[in-house]
Chains A and B, each alone.
Chain A
């Protein structure tokens, strides 16, 4: 029973990691830039919906739609103004500064904005599926309703992204953009259009996950960094290249974390987890695609 509940908890946590990893990997695949603001988009979605519903007394559906639209517009403007200046000019900026720091600044900006708008308290978007936790097949195993939504949405998004990348010419064009900027342009692929579209899409997906997940963990204005870190970590184990693999990596990390926390040490579970992950990277970087990412 204990193991079953740990596995369920691990799947829910892993789905959260998987979702943000998919967002990070998706955009990295097209731009070779790590989206370290992905967690902040999730935080803005959750805190924004909470504010509109709880403080301003909006109905939940329009509140969600307005916040998703706001996130989409914000991501679009950032791409046009900042990323466009760096990537679309006569001299295209490349290298580690672009890869790591272009979205880091956005993360800080969103964190500050959230502090001003929503304060420093813990917030959560309203439960979309309120009620007591579910007893899985009357087996005594329990899962929170918000957890079911998170797992379901992560599965749908992971599957959709995997199909998009593997089974469509546009998905292959996305991969080509990240593989070779000039090579993609030669066959007529509009790198800028894909970069912009997927930045906005990954921001909106992150916001949806934030809205679904915040009832489980609760968010503050500075939750974004830790969310991005979990996404970054799981995406790293997919070499930042494959959103589908990133989902699997996220789920695995979540499961490992839950089992270590349950059976080894609740206090040192995270420490053990990171030690295992670090050892895995050192032993077999190629198996996880990290050599590609580092290259």
Chain B
């Protein structure tokens, strides 16, 4: 990653709609009046917050209150209203490729791996937004770095991802996200269903990713670990940000 900046503790909350905010650099991610609906059911209403480059922000709140819908809306995976900017560029709605190419990758809830494909294939497909060449993907720095972050996966590269343990699958999902060489990595419920020790290992890896200069947005229902790593928190209840929007 070449565009590292900031670091832990350098958070500057930016009011929604306040342009580039307090710093001269545009926010890494600025969300204003974001709304997400499923049919007639509104899951998220007028959510606004921003994240500076290098920050680690925890998006917390009880289960079923719209946290995942917020990151899915930001990542372009579901239709959304409102305004999303990434490094100063306005993102079109529901355009995953735009967000990925401009530096945001989502590690989704429940991993969403390809269970019949090998671990190596799962990770290498993370490079898809940057290249269509298998050779270039295999020799890319981001692919190599993603794998070196999880030496536990080394002996499982040819194994089908669906046969791994939950913790190993989470590592594959994070490695796939990193293979895209994102400037912002959004991770949705990284410890869902994992044992305590495995959850700690996952958070150690996330701390390493953050120390590498990447911006993190961590979605957590049980936020103890996330708040230890995060420089700031945004709390969501009933689809509305109740704390941390400014």
Contacts and interface: CB of A to CB of B under 8 A. Distances in A.
B96 A188 contact: yes
A179 B115 CA distance: 7
A68 B134 CA distance: 31
Which of A170, A175, A179, A186 has the most chain B CB atoms inside 10 A of its CB?
A186
Contacts of A241: 116
Interface magnitude class on chain B: 20 to 34
Interface in A220-260: 241
Nearest to B129: A188
A202 B49 CA distance: 47
19 contacts: A169-B128, A169-B132, A169-B133, A172-B124, A173-B125, A173-B128, A175-B116, A175-B117, A175-B121, A176-B117, A179-B117, A183-B112, A186-B108, A187-B100, A187-B129, A188-B101, A188-B129, A189-B128, A190-B97
A185 B134 CA distance: 18
Contacts of B203: none
Contacts of A91: 39
B124 A292 contact: no
Interface string B101-128: 1000110100111111100010011111
Contact of A182 (B77, B117, B137): B77
Interface residues of A, number: 23
Contacts of B180: 187-188
A168 interface: yes
Given A176-B114, A179-B114, A187 B134 contact: no
B117 A187 contact: no
Interface of A: 90-91, 167-170, 172-173, 175-176, 179-180, 182-190, 241, 292
Interface of B: 39, 75, 77, 79, 96-97, 100-101, 105-106, 108, 111-117, 121, 124-129, 131-134, 137, 176, 180
Nearest to B112: A183
A183 B110 CA distance: 10
Which of A169, A170, A189 has the most chain B CB atoms inside 10 A of its CB?
A169
B162 to A, nearest CB: 9
Which of A90, A91, A170, A188 has the most chain B CB atoms inside 10 A of its CB?
A188
